[in-house]
Structure 1
Amino acid sequence: MAVAALLWGLFFFRALSTSGVFMAGDTLRAFYPMRAYWASRVSALEFPDWLPYDGLGQSFPGIFITGTFHPFLWLHLVLPFALAAKLTLLACFPLALGGTYALVRAWDVPRAGALFAAVTFTFSGYLVCITNNPTYLQAASTLPLALWLALRFLREPGLTRLTLAGMVLALVAFAGDAQAFVMANACIVCLAALDPRAGPWRRRVGACVLLILAGGLLAAPQLLPAAALTAGSEPGARSLVEAQRFSLHPLRLWELVLGPFLADAQGTQGIPVAVVRHLVPSGGFNRTWVDSVYVGTPACVLALAGLAASVRQWRAWVFAALVLLLAALCLGDALPVYGWVYQLVPFWRPFRYPEKLVPLLSLGLAVAAGLGWKRCLTPGGSARAVVWVGLLVALPCAGLALVDATGQGWSQHWLRVRWPDVPGPVLQGLSGNVLASAVAGAVLASACAALIFLRERPSLQGALLVALQWGALAWAHEPLYQLSPEELLTTPPAFVERIRALTAPGERVRVASSLRDLPPPRLAGVRYNDALNLLQLSVLAPDMVALWGLESANEYLPGVSPRVRQLKADRVHWFTRLAPRLGTRFVAFATAEQRELGARLSARSTFVDPVLGLTLVEYADAAPRIHLARPECVEGRAEAARRMLSPQLPPSDVAIVECQAALPATPEGPLGRIDVAPGTLEHLTVEVEALAPAVLVVNDAYQPGWRASVDGQDVLILPANVAVRAVPVPAGRHLVELRYRTPGLTAGLLVGALSWLGLALACLGKRFLPRRRAPTA
């Protein structure tokens, strides 16, 4: 335990000794905003059902990646926001370390070997680099513990073990990664089939089914809302092409042994955009999912040696086949395997990004390394296998280093063929990376072979192997996790300050951002990643605007309404005409683009940020969030979309309504007035004084789960202007109420609560109720 804590502290010394916070990718774009929103609502004793900060609004608990029910969220109620977020990420690594150690020890691997495997998984490239997306880090770090508890239950079924295993399995779902939850259950099936101690087949099957059922019931508060969202919307991947973005490029398979030879550890702290586009494309994205998949050369040597020493054991080959299948799935569009799964397994279709499966591959290799330790380094083991594999790995690594050092064989004859106009500094950097990684791989593999001669001193041999593995991973990955000043999370950018100056305190304001791939500015004394984070915060992109209490017309999370997405077919039309019509008052443009649009912008005012090259436009004709309008009935969504996507929009006091029955005509003239009462995001109360029959338009997304009433009588909510909501109101004074509840949430909470309570009471009853004694003769 002390050694594990020391290794963790040394690896994350930079994070522990400074006030900087993890800030890269979705940590900034989604994780921090969602946590800030959850904490603000729960601290006010409100449940965050509706999220207004993404795509005109969507369900918060229905979106799996928000992790609404994860226990780490409660840290935000007792600690400062930045500290709570930092501790959330740092706590994942001891969890992974302890879980992997326990899992590998369950197969009688010596303590040093189990620590070696735990170090391999915990400080692997995926886990360290996925600090750019803590949702997936939380799920991956919980997986080994869930599998260990599952293995204990499969071997000796019991109520207490079922409860513990089910709880941790549910915790994988609560982390916010649906695919990890499904794959965790698949791993449990594999454990039930392969573990030699799981007992008779009937017991294996029964225990496996019972555990999966328990995990699903306990996770029902997260699973049922997500299932309802999937049934009524288009979350996740809508096509195989979209599903296979962020595929692991075949070139990166070399990282498993060599290290992150494509990454720039000092500048971008990751794989630069140019390298992604020219060498390892990610389906149109300008970055990779993670910047390293390295698991350590010593781990690869032990895993291969263990397989070589177990050639006559069928379980070893089945395990190897499963690892290869995971690798094939991670490669995504490079092989047809992911496509076959997408086509043949219906529940797989909402999942996206094959590279998200890399933690399973990393865990598989870590476990294989631990089992290889047991097979080769224990008394009577096949130590020669480590020597031979070590040399077989060292020789090609040394050959690659020699070829590139003497004749630049890799740089000139491989890289230039695929990237003819590669810039000189990039070529030099990649060549240096390959040379350093190849030399390190050769040295590490040779060291593994040499350490076999210390088998008479197993304690020293084990300590050196663990130190060698940890050192290799620390050298490769410690520079890759990204920290930025926490002031970026607490200091409003210039555009936010401008918006606050133009709006009333407490007013709900919706913004949008037209920017796409704008390179970060070069600011004196500011690191690349800090400049990139500053730019992302400044352009009013979703969902970061939640940090400042601003709502967004842009979408980033997967639960966005398909109706909102449909209106964005014409990008310029959306940002200059439709977004303002749907209640978006401010839009951020690149200054160059704003000048090109010219007369198409109906601006009241503009505000320029010359340092970042951005312009904020305030629209003079932006529609109010809630207003009365004259309904123009159309037959369906297709006709409504045709009207809204035409160059000439209907008049501002007309709403295109998809009517189920004809609505009363509204004569020309004033429509009346409304008074919006204070309330929550899920409960809207509006007093309407209509001078003629009209519709009350609410410029929030038309989503399942909303109910409306007029004077206490339930009425239908109709789609208006394709994407938002309308409630018909007759002439006169009326009270209109709209309430929201995420579909499936009530049932999920009920099922989950009963399951948790039932298992808890059963465990207490088993512990404290007296056992019935058998009658005596």
Structure 2
Amino acid sequence: MIKKILEKWWPLIVITGVIFAFHIRLFLPEPSIYITPDYGRSDAWHLSIANKFYYAQELKKNRIPIWNPHIGTGYPTLAEGQTAIFFLPNLIFFRTLPFVWAYNLTLVLSFLIAGWGIYMFCRSLGLSKLSSTYAGTIFPLGGFFVFHVQHHNLLQTATLLPWLFWATNEFLEKRKVIFLLALSFIISQQIFAGFPQLTFYSLVALVVFLILKTFTKKNWLIKSLTPILISIIFGFSIGAVQVIPQYEFLNVSARQISPENILTRFPYTFKNILQFLNPFILGSPKDGTFPRWVPGSWGIFWENVAYVGIFPLIFALVAIILTFRKKFNQKIAVIIFLFLLLLSLLLALGTLSPLQTVFSLPPFSIFRVPSRFLLITQFSIVVLSAIFIHKTINKRSILIPIILISLLNVFIVFINYNPTGNAKEWFKKPSTSNYLENNGAERIYSIGQSEQWNQEFIFNGWQNNTDYYHFARNSLDQNSNLIFDIDQFASYESMTAERAEIFKQIVNSGINKTDNKIEVSEKSAQLLASSNVTHLISPLEINSPLLKKVQEYKQDIKQKFIVSALKLAPQQYFMTQNYRVAQIKSDVVNNLMDPDFNPLEEIVLEKDINLSEPLVNKWTIITRKEIPNAISFEINSDGEGLFVLTESYYPGWKAFTDEIEVEVLAANINSKAVVIPKGTHLLEFKYDPKSIRLGTTITSLGLIIFIFFFLKFRKFQIL
């Protein structure tokens, strides 16, 4: 029994063993996490781990985290997408396992899925088990994956690329409906994985592959292209519960990226091509030798590397040469992947590419960092190298040493690049968190941390010292606050709602660094207090009559974090009869900036209302229920007035007074206000957006149709 299993599945077992060996530091000698720093913060700690930590907490409470009230005065978690809420491995692992195990296993699973996927695709192309195993071990250990371990959702999206090619190729060869269904399912999972840029880039590559493979065949448009395109559309329908809210968020976001910005902000240059020979030929951020990112002039290290080792690169080049020099029965596959290699490399070059005009067209124009096309480049190189091995190296005595040497190459180059930290130590509450917890903190704002961080990151890296990054947890910078159950005024995400961004810019306009201090204006202090902020954390002293230093934590003379408390009373909610009206956003901003405007007592509305006499002067408010996507209050007032909730104004929030829906007004650009009559009333806010309801309906119908076709037609052939 065991012998038969080994004979059949040994390639996948080998791939699994290699991947776990590469990531063994996460499990032995003690549970650890990757803590790879980035510019200004760590995308591992402040984004991936933090967001997944909140996600796991909510799942264990049997709640789907569609809204997060703990960052950015409220944030649409589902609509933003990077938490990858409906990605199946996430749902299973984060619901059932302790967090560190769930996070590490889903991370390693991404590498496994990529390795298994390219193995299956190479087998679909007719390659041998050994050559396919070679691809399955090299591809997931290439630079695109290893240098992106801090981007959990990017990896989960990228990992499904080879499976898209496998399902498509299997359908083209066998014409069975089950492979169209598999393609739809894979696309839906790639959508749920939460990195739409790579979903789009994957589909671009897939369509190119499909056209090049079939256009010479009779009736290819109807027999091949049409069923595949229908399958892709069906995949999007299954993913509608993610796509529709994400589209809604994009329309109200502050993300405005011009084609010029896309092409120049994160450049990939001809010099970066040298990194196919040696990823560290231009330096390494690990020891601070890689040139710092300069928008428009020099790119980011981890976005510009698709190194897979010297042997795969040589094998791919030789396969290309042999294809054009002699008879080669894998000629079509080589030509297709040569075309994909060149196309993806040209697109990655952005402004240096003759194809740069495509980035002025949607959806190319939505996404930044064109160098992420290097995923397709890396995939193409590995497939070409596997084809070469299959056609020219038939003896196991030669092939196995080649596989081992290639693996040794990538292990030596990559194994110690990403730093790890002891999970127990990293999840232990930092000193600032303990202080805030014991001193009545409501919401905090971390400022000025990135400059101190970059001083360490750019010049020293992390090779000889990760102590600073552990100490920097004290900043509780967004979104790491989620790990320690503290609310944060700001958020760190791929998109920010325009209203939230405008309000934050107004606040930040009054926060300036002078010498070795940070000046906070009276207006900024008032606006922060009106957003329920009680404390600021900074690496420098804060100079403001409305803030006082209450605690300081030092690592050494240069590196410290200071906790300052606002002297103003924080307000999560209040009632007022005082309001101004400004119907366009620029006028709202001008009113908020007015020295005579006090956001703790007055609000700016964007439409006029008529409050009835008598007007409110006294009131009591009791919070009855508070969960992430709903909050209710019992309000007693001596007159009619405006109830103001200093949480994000965002599409989908509804209000009910005594179970009757009432209008939610935009107040102070990014807060919510409701007219409350005199007397005692129950007021409830609910996050129930049409986009999620519509998406849920379409996804449900899509799944029903999927199950029906799977049960009835999975063996059916389309001839």
- TM-score using structure 2 length: 0.86
CA distance change for structure 1 residues 519 and 767 in 2, over 3 Å: closer, same or farther? closer
For residues 331 and 70 of structure 1, what CA distance do their matches in structure 2 show? 31
- Alignment of structure 1 residues 106-255 onto 2, 5 Å: 106-195=124-213, 200-201=219-220, 202-235=222-255, 237=257, 240-241=260-261, 244-255=264-275
The equivalent residue for 1:454 is: none
Secondary structure in structure 2 of the residue aligned to 1:260: coil
Whether 1:644 and 2:592 are equivalent positions in the alignment is yes
Instruction: Work out whether residues 633 and 663 of structure 1, in 8 Å CA contact, stay in contact via their aligned partners in 2.
Output: no
1:6-85 aligned within 5 A: 6-18=17-29, 19-24=31-36, 25-73=42-90, 74-85=92-103
Residue 354 (1) aligns with residue 367 (2): no
Which residues of structure 2 form unaligned runs of 5+?
A: 1-10, 37-41, 326-330, 512-519
State the match for 1:482 in structure 2.
419
Q: Does 1:603 align with 2:547?
A: yes
Question: Aligned partners of 1:647, 1:679: CA distance in 2, in Å?
Answer: 34
Aligned counterpart, 2:501:
565
Q: Matched residues, percent identical?
A: 17
* Partner SS, residue 627 of structure 2: coil
For residue 333 of structure 1, report the CA deviation from its aligned partner: 4.1
Q: Deviations over 1:665-713 (max 9, x none)?
A: 886x834221121231211211222223321111111111111122333
3-state secondary structure, aligned to 1:132: coil
String of CA shifts for 1:68-112, please: whole Å, max 9, x gaps: 101222212222111111111111222111111111222222333
Provide the C-alpha distance between the structure 2 equivalents of 1:534 and 1:242, rounded to a whole number of angstroms: 33
- Using a 3 Å threshold, how does the CA distance of structure 1 residues 349 and 98 change in structure 2: closer, same or farther? same
- 1:359 Cα deviation from its structure 2 partner: 1.5
1:473 and 2:484 matched: no
* Aligned twin of 1:762: 709
Paired residue for 1:586? 535
Question: Over residues 209-231 of structure 1, what are the superposed CA-to-partner deviations in whole Å (9 max), with x where a residue is unaligned?
Answer: 12212211221221121112122
Q: Residue type matched to 2:663 in 1?
A: L
Gap change, CA 1:757 and 1:561, over 3 Å in 2? same
- Could you tell me which residue of structure 2 aligns to residue 366 of structure 1? 382
> Pairwise mapping of residues 415-454 of structure 1 onto structure 2 (< 5 A)?
none
For the residues of structure 1 that align with 2:298 and 2:651, how far apart are their CA atoms? 31
Distance in 2, matches of 1:187 and 1:209, equals: 13
Larger mean CA deviation between 143-152 and 699-708 belongs to: 143-152
1:750 is matched with which residue?
697
Question: Which of 284, 308, 313 does residue 295 from structure 1 map onto?
Answer: 308
Q: Determine the structure 1 residue equivalent to 2:665.
A: 718
1:342-421 equivalence runs, <5 A: 342-343=359-360, 345-375=361-391, 377=392
Aligned partner of residue 47 in structure 1, secondary structure: coil
Cα distance in structure 2, aligned partners of 1:318 and 1:767: 29
State the shift of 1:543 in Å. Answer: 0.7
Mapped to 2, the partners of 1:246 and 1:128 lie a distance apart of 19
CA distances 1:545-566 after superposition (whole Å, capped 9, x unpaired): 0111112211211342212212
**Cα deviations across residues 721-767 of structure 1 (Å, max 9, x unaligned)?**
12211112233322222110244211212211221222213322347
Shift of 1:36: 1.6
Tell me, in whole angstroms, the C-alpha distance in 1 between the residues paired with 2:643 and 2:529: 18
Q: Is the 8 A contact 1:537 1:545 kept in 2?
A: no
Deviations 1:121-146 (A, max 9, x none): 11101111211111111111221122
Q: What does 1:460-539 align with in structure 2 at a 5 Å threshold?
A: 460-503=397-440, 509-519=443-453, 530-539=466-475
Deviates more, 1:152-161 or 1:236-245: 236-245
Query: Structure 1 residues 337, 484: CA separation in 2 closer, same or farther (over 3 Å shift)?
Result: farther
Q: Deviations over 1:478-535 (max 9, x none)?
A: 111221110244211111111111118xxx5344434222137989xx9756334324
- Tell me: CA distance 1:271–1:189, structure 2 relative to 1, closer, same or farther (3 Å): farther
RMSD, aligned CA: 3.0
Equivalent AA in structure 1 for residue 44 of structure 2: T
SS of structure 2 residue aligned to 1:749: helix
- Distance (Å, rounded) in 2 between the aligned partners of 1:689 and 1:80: 44
Tell me the secondary structure at the aligned position of residue 398 of structure 2: helix
CA distance in 2, matches of 1:251, 1:601: 52
Conserved in 2, the CA contact under 8 Å of 1:54 and 1:542?
A: yes
Q: CA 1:116–1:286 in structure 2 vs 1: closer, same or farther (change >3 Å)?
A: closer
Mapped to 2, the partners of 1:249 and 1:517 lie a distance apart of: 27
Which one-letter code corresponds to 1:275 in the other structure?
Answer: F
The letter of the residue matching 1:4 is I
SS of 1:275's equivalent in the other structure is coil
Q: Judge conservation of contact 1:326–1:361 (CA < 8 Å) in 2.
A: yes
Alignment partner of 1:349: what SS?
Answer: helix
Q: 1:285 to 1:261 in 2, by over 3 A?
A: closer
Answer yes or no: is the 8 Å Cα contact 1:151–1:191 preserved in 2: no
Q: 1:350 deviation in Å? A: 2.7
Residue type matched to 1:12 in 2? H
Q: Check whether the contact 2:240–2:698 (CA below 8 A) recurs between aligned residues.
A: yes
The DSSP-based 3-state class of the residue aligned with 1:179 is helix
Q: Helix, strand or coil: the match of 1:687?
A: strand
After the TM superposition, which of the residue ranges 175-184 and 253-262 deviates more from structure 2?
253-262
Partner of 1:396: none
Q: Does the aligned pair in 1 maintain the 2:443–2:534 contact within 8 Å?
A: yes
CA contact (8 A) 1:311 1:317 kept: no
Query: Residue 57 and residue 236 in structure 1: after superposition, are their counterparts in 2 closer, same or farther (change >3 A)?
Result: farther
Answer whether contact 2:48 2:150 (CA < 8 A) is retained: no
Of 320, 323, 345, 1:307 maps to 320
Amino acid at match of 2:636: E
Alignment map for 1:543-562 (pairs within 5 Å): 543-562=479-498
Whether contact under 8 Å (2:652, 2:688) holds in the other structure is yes
Query: 2:562, 2:491 → 1: CA distance?
Result: 20
Question: How big is each residue's C-alpha offset from its partner over 1:52-83, in whole Å with a ceiling of 9 and x where there is no partner?
Answer: 23322121110121211012222122221111
Cα distance in 1 for partners of 2:24, 2:62 equals 37
Which residue, 640, 653, 662 being the options, matches 2:601?
A: 653
What is the alpha-carbon distance in structure 1 between the residues aligned to residue 474 and residue 226 of structure 2? Answer: 55
**Amino acid in the other structure paired with 1:560:** T
Aligned residues: 672
- Paired residue for 1:389? none
TM-score, normalised to structure 1, is: 0.80
C-alpha separation in 1, matches of 2:437 and 2:43: 26
Q: CA deviation at 1:283?
A: 5.3
2:583 matched to 1:635? Answer: yes
The 3-state SS of whatever aligns with 2:563 is strand
SS in 2 for 1:632: strand
